Amino acid sequence: MVYYSDGKITVRDLAESDPKVFAEGERAQGWEADESKLEKRLAEREEGRAICLAADWCGEPAGYVSVYPKYEHGAFTGRLPMIVDFAVLEKFRRRGVGGKLMDVAEEIAGRFSDEVGLGVGLNSGYGSAQRMYCKRGYLPDGSGVWYRDRVCGEYEDCRNDDDLVLYFSKKLRL
């Protein structure tokens, strides 16, 4: 299904061929990546648990994100739909691809709730996403830093890896 198209950016359902393409693109830019992450998302879509999106730039796969109407992890477990696993390949950034993916993801989340949540990593690799979420009106939920799917207590040790996150939410309708 195509959710948006303007001749340059197309937002569509994630295809079976996308995990390999995105993993190759992520490895080419120095990220640790394999197909299994997006294959898991596709399996969860088949189970009816997720809506998985991809964006193309001029016909070339450029980014992806998933929306979970009922997410089973993190600060908003069972309360809010979640936007999960947002990524835009570096060579397609600053062209509006990420913004369109988020527009569509928020529209889909709005079918389930007046508010949506997401978690973002705290290391510098997530800097672009952190800034974009703030610009889009997302606010920290106030639960503090989470590590490996639980609140990281005061003075508790953790590692600044992909499992160290801060949760944000956004009102979609007032």
pLDDT in tens, 22-31: 999 999 998 8
- 60-68/2-5 β-pairing: unpaired
| CA gap 52, 15 in Å, rounded | 9
Domain borders along the chain are 2-171
Whole-prediction pTM value? 0.93
| CA gap 39, 34 in Å, rounded | 9
Domain spanning 2-171: CATH superfamily: Gcn5-related N-acetyltransferase (GNAT) (3.40.630.30)
Closest CA to 170 of 142, 143, 140, 127: 140
Model pLDDT for residues 79-132, shown as the tens digit of each residue: 999 999 999 999 999 999 999 999 999 999 999 999 999 999 999 989 999 999
